[in-house]
Structure 1
Amino acid sequence: MTSRVETLTPPNTPKPIGPYNHVAQVGDRIWIGGTAGFDPATGQLAGADVGSQTRQIFRSFAVMLAAVDSDLNHVTHINVFLKQMSDFEAMNAAYVEMMGEHRPARTVFSVLELPKPGVMLTMNLTAVTRQPASSAGR
């Protein structure tokens, strides 16, 4: 049995800055690529601070996940790429505010550069759909 890879960039999410879609899905598994804190309505960063950018990333993640029958409670892993590790606590505060009690696996990296000026962090994630894929034929 072969699995089909479906990709999309849902409306009301930031426009990709390269030749890719934000979301890839195979069955009940979901991957969302690197996402920065851009407000899709304005095309501008949600703010100059790491907290504002973190909250916007999660708002974008929520829209992307909803487009593939998922939500933040179905996230299995998040990678965080911070330009300055000194922003770790502020990122964590906004992260907890947006994720609530759900605590998926997470990895935090310090990075030298990010592709757009003013971006303080990006994140990507893996998740599953709300309903598991049919086990028929497996």
Structure 2
Amino acid sequence: MAHIVETSTPPNTPTPIGPYNHIAKVGPFLSIGGTAGVNPATGQLAGTDIYSQAKQILQSFQVMLESIGSDLEHILHVNIFLKNMQDFEEMNRAYVEMMGDHLPARTVIGVNELPKPGVLVTMNLTAVTNTKL
């Protein structure tokens, strides 16, 4: 049986800045593309600091995951792209607050630039739905 890839950008999440949807899902597997710490209500960055931006990203992930039958506890892997590695500890503070005891595989990469001005961090992830296969 062929699996069809479904894509979506749920309400109450940041508007993508390019020609893409935030979520791609096939069967129980899903991927959320690069997301910045943009407050979906205002369209502006959640703050100028790493903590505010990282927390907003994870809040957006929570909304996105719930829109397709998943949650933060079903994340398999997170990629984090930091403009400044000196922000690592403050990013982790927001990460632990949102993720709690669920600590999936993770990669942190230092980058020179990110597409949206003022963005200090972006993240993407791979997860599964919370329904049985």
Instruction: Give the structure-1-normalised TM-score.
Output: 0.95
Equivalent residue, structure 2, for 1:54: 54
**Pairs aligned (count):** 133
Give the C-alpha shift of residue 132 in structure 1: 2.7
Correspondence 1:8 to 2:8 = yes
Name the amino acid aligned to 1:84. N
* Distance of 2:97 and 2:50 partners within structure 1: 13
* Distance of 1:54 and 1:86 partners within structure 2: 14
CA deviations 1:32-89 (Å, max 9, x no partner) are: 0000000000000000000000000011000100111000000000000000011001
CA deviations 1:101-132 (Å, max 9, x no partner) are: 00100000000000011100000000000113
Instruction: Give the structure-2-normalised TM-score.
Output: 0.99
Q: Secondary structure at the match of 1:48?
A: coil
Which structure is larger by alpha-carbon Rg, 1 or 2? 1
Correspondence 1:78 to 2:78 = yes
* Distance of 2:128 and 2:79 partners within structure 1: 16
Equivalent residue, structure 1, for 2:127: 127
Stretches of structure 2 that go unaligned for 5 or more consecutive residues are none
Stretches of structure 1 that go unaligned for 5 or more consecutive residues are 134-138
Q: Secondary structure at the match of 1:2?
A: coil
Q: Secondary structure at the match of 2:68?
A: coil
What aligned pairs does 1:1-138 form with structure 2 within 5 A after superposition? 1-133=1-133
